[in-house]
C-alpha cells in the first residue's frame, strides 16, 4: 500500500508524520494488502460550540479495483486518524466480503 499524507495547517512534520503512518498501518493490519493507494488528508475543523477539532479524510483505491472514502473528527490528529482508519477497515472488509473480485465504490 502506498500512503500519502497531507496535513496543511496541522503542523505535522518528521516523526509526527511517521508515527501517524505507522499507526494507520497497524490499524489496517492485513487489510492493507487489499489497498493499492491511500490518500490521507488531515486538517482543522471547527465544531458548533466554538472548539477546534481535527478532521481526517482517507480515500483508498482497492485491489483489484474500486475505491472507498471515510471521514472522521477527533480532538487531535491521532484520534481523527484512528477513527477514520477503523471505519476504513470496516468498509474494506465489507467491500471484499460482498464482492471479492472488486469493482464497487463506497463512502462511509
In order of start, what are the domains of the chain with their CATH numbers? 2-107 (3.30.160.100)
Q: Residue 90 and residue 18: Cα distance in Å, rounded?
A: 24
* Mean pLDDT of the region 10-28: 85
Q: Residue 94 and residue 63: Cα distance in Å, rounded?
A: 14
Q: Is 62 helix (H, G, I), strand (E, B) or coil?
A: strand
48 bridge partner residues: none
* pTM (two decimals): 0.83
Percentage, residues of the chain above pLDDT 90 = 49
53 bridge partner residues: 45
**How many angstroms separate the Cα of 5 from the Cα of each of 24, 29, 39, 43, 103?**
11, 18, 6, 11, 25
Chain center to CA of 16:
16
Read off the pLDDT of residues 47-66 as tens digits, 9 standing for 90 and up: 777 677 889 999 999 988 88
Amino acid at each position: 500500500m502506498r500512503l500519502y499524507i497531507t496535513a496543511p495547517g496541522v503542523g505535522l512534520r518528521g516523526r509526527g508524520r511517521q508515527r501517524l503512518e505507522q499507526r494507520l498501518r497497524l490499524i489496517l493490519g492485513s487489510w492493507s494488502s487489499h489497498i493499492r493507494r491511500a490518500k490521507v488528508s488531515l486538517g482543522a475543523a471547527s465544531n458548533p460550540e466554538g472548539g477546534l477539532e481535527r478532521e481526517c479524510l482517507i480515500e483508498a483505491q482497492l485491489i483489484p479495483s474500486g475505491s472507498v472514502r471515510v471521514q472522521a473528527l477527533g480532538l487531535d490528529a491521532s484520534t481523527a486518524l484512528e477513527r477514520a482508519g477503523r471505519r476504513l477497515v470496516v468498509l474494506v472488509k465489507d467491500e471484499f466480503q460482498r464482492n471479492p473480485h472488486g469493482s464497487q465504490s463506497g463512502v462511509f
